[in-house]
């Protein structure tokens, strides 16, 4: 088709979707590609957020709007995930944390939970060669011990295979809850105090951070939440203290590279004072 590029990054396609598998592909116009390039030109590569966190929300609504089962939304969300990881890596983002399954998501219907548990296997298995090629390090934040064996094995395989890579960190928050993470850190600290390995006076913010799931990963600079919800939903409660928040009505499966770039651009005009005053 003249003036159009066919890519496997199918995010937004017209309602209702065409039948069959065709709907999994989307056409990116040259105009969109150009817009993306224009945004990249505007972004200052020196002022990039080091760590971007994303709540991948709106998959269910996206599917419902098309008369599809909710899992079709999660499947489409994977395509967006792939496109955004690629975009983040290409502009030089160092760490991206994606909220993939919360400790509250166990309340969903068993079929949906089962599907969400299967996604890491599906995604990581298929993407591993490409993640290796891009030198990406996979990390996970959350309670892995509660996961089904297949999910755990897929995650462990990706963690192990990518551990010596040196590029962007792709961190999945899976079976993650911010409050649970804080409680878990408190318990570890209490145990050390009780065993006389730690003095209460020595507990500082830095020390506490070290007891979190991924204490070595710096706090997010930017949090992106699509789908119109204006809340944090138990995500990185400790780490988001001074994070810049960016919301959009766009549902995650419709979220595109240019939306991600726009969020970065908007971040770059924010003034971060960390409680200080402007000099």
Residue 176 interacts with ligand FPP (CB under 6 A): yes or no: no
Q: What is the set of active-site residues?
A: 57, 105
**Residue 39 or 53 with smaller CB distance to ligand FPP:** 53
Please identify which residue in the block is written with the tokens 């939306």: 259
The least distance separating ligand FPP from the CB of residue 78, rounded to whole angstroms, comes to 5
Pairing type for strands 244-247 and 222-225 reads parallel
Interacting residue with ligand FPP among 49, 120, 177, 226 (CB under 6 A)? 120
Exposure on the CB side of residue 185, measured as CA atoms within 13 A: 22
Contact 173, 142 (CB under 8 A): yes
* Residue 121 to residue 153: CA distance in whole angstroms: 8
**Contact residues for 158 (Cβ-Cβ < 8 A; gap 6+):** 120, 124, 128, 131, 138
Residue 81 interacts with ligand FPP (CB under 6 A): yes or no: yes
* Residue 137 to residue 79: CA distance in whole angstroms: 19
Number of residues that bind ligand FPP (CB under 6 A): 19
Interacting residue with ligand FPP among 10, 49, 58, 79 (CB under 6 A)? 58
Residue 59 interacts with ligand FPP (CB under 6 A): yes or no: yes
Residue 226 interacts with ligand FPP (CB under 6 A): yes or no: no
Please identify which residue in the block is written with the tokens 């209460």: 200
**Residue 105 or 268 with smaller CB distance to ligand FPP:** 105
By the criterion CB under 6 A, which residues form the site for ligand FPP?
56-61, 74, 77-78, 81, 100, 105, 116, 119-120, 123, 172, 174, 227
């Amino acid at each position: 088709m003249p003036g159009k590029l066919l890519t496997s990054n199918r995010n937004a396609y017209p309602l209702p979707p065409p039948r069959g598998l065709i709907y999994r592909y989307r056409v990116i116009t040259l105009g969109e590609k150009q817009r993306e390039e224009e945004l990249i030109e505007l972004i200052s590569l020196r002022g990039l957020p080091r760590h971007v966190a994303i709540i991948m929300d709106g998959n269910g609504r996206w599917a419902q709007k098309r008369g599809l089962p909710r899992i079709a939304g999660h499947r489409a969300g994977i395509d967006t995930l792939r496109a955004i990881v690629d975009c983040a890596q290409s502009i030089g983002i160092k760490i991206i944390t994606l909220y993939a399954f919360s400790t509250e998501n166990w309340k969903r219907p068993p079929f949906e939970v089962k599907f969400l548990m299967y996604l890491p296997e599906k995604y990581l298995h298929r993407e591993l060669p490409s993640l290796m090629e891009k030198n990406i390090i996979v990390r996970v934040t959350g309670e892995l011990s509660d996961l089904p064996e297949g999910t755990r094995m897929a995650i462990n395989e990706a963690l192990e295979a990518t551990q010596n890579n040196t590029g962007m960190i792709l961190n999945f928050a899976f079976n993650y809850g911010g409050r649970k993470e804080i409680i878990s850190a408190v318990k570890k600290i209490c145990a050390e105090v009780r065993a006389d390995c730690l003095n209460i006076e020595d507990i500082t913010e830095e020390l506490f951070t070290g007891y979190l799931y991924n204490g070595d990963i710096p706090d997010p600079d930017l949090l992106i939440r699509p789908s119109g919800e204006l809340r944090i939903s138990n995500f990185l409660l400790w780490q988001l203290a001074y994070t810049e928040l960016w919301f959009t009505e766009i549902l995650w499966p419709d979220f595109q590279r240019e939306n991600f770039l726009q969020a970065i651009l908007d971040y770059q005009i924010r003034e971060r004072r960390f409680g200080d005053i402007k000099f």
